[in-house]
Structure 1
């Protein structure tokens, strides 16, 4: 897959994920779904999971803390640390696995599959495509295997399906 990262920033042999989806909502509303706690809680989880925590610190340099709860009650925390925010156009952040206090954890040490990097760079772009529709492209960078890309893609697509429902 092509990426917008300079060659020097890409790790040799890593794989990236790109998913594009069109939502039946204006760009301002879709952008808010990525930045406001109550909206993020409605969609940031794969099927069967919930999001009991979405403490959004949505600003450049800010760090949001999110929790996905599995059907059996297991909590998995992530942080999103923002490096770029262009309202209604672009969000860039690094996702890290963390503890409940937002301290970064090594994915391998918490039982995640091999090939899942400690830092997963995300770039989300938003484009108005007329008639109150918005095209969103999510790019995730640096995975170590095709299997991890497919696992992340499946989860992301489930999340985006929930976002589509939440935006109605």
Structure 2
């Protein structure tokens, strides 16, 4: 029986030539997060950003051609230097969660997803894994998957 990678969720694994402290900080320091947490050609701004368990965020990723994409979420779990778990959902600019279909998203895109980031030190480098609770095929079709890859590359360049 062959080993098969599950496509029931987005799974991305990257190794960064930086310490776990630096990579974790890129996700949890608001000033650092604002420098990279958006795909190539996009900018991000936060109306709310409270990085702690139970803390919430409300942000807008802006693209000159595509316009604004608002989202909200809540930090469910933060284990320093090890793990970060948060919800992610589409929203309006007032922070109210909205049905993704009403803003033109794929009808199979879920109303909310959970994103889990893990950090592991390996010989002075950091192995980061990202899981998101949406089928990888849908994430690739909608552009969410390549957007994660682009954002992580931007993060790599800020470390």
Give the alignment's TM-score, normalised by structure 1: 0.84
Number of equivalenced pairs:
154
Distance 1:50 1:122 in 2: 20
- Residue deviations 1:81-108, cap 9 Å, x none? 1111101100111101112222111111
Q: Does residue 1:138 correspond to 2:151, yes or no?
A: no
Q: From 6, 23, 26, give the equivalent of 1:30.
A: 23
Alignment gaps of 5+ in structure 1: 3-13
RMSD: 1.9
Aligned to 1:89: 82
Q: From 61, 73, 87, give the equivalent of 1:80.
A: 73
Where has structure 1 moved over 4 Å in runs of 4 or more?
none
For the Cα contact (< 8 Å) 1:36–1:56, is it kept in 2? Answer: no
Alignment gaps of 5+ in structure 2: none
After the TM superposition, which residues 43-58 of structure 1 pair with which residues of structure 2 at under 5 Å, given as runs?
43-53=36-46, 55-58=48-51
Give the alignment's TM-score, normalised by structure 2: 0.88
Aligned to 1:64: 57
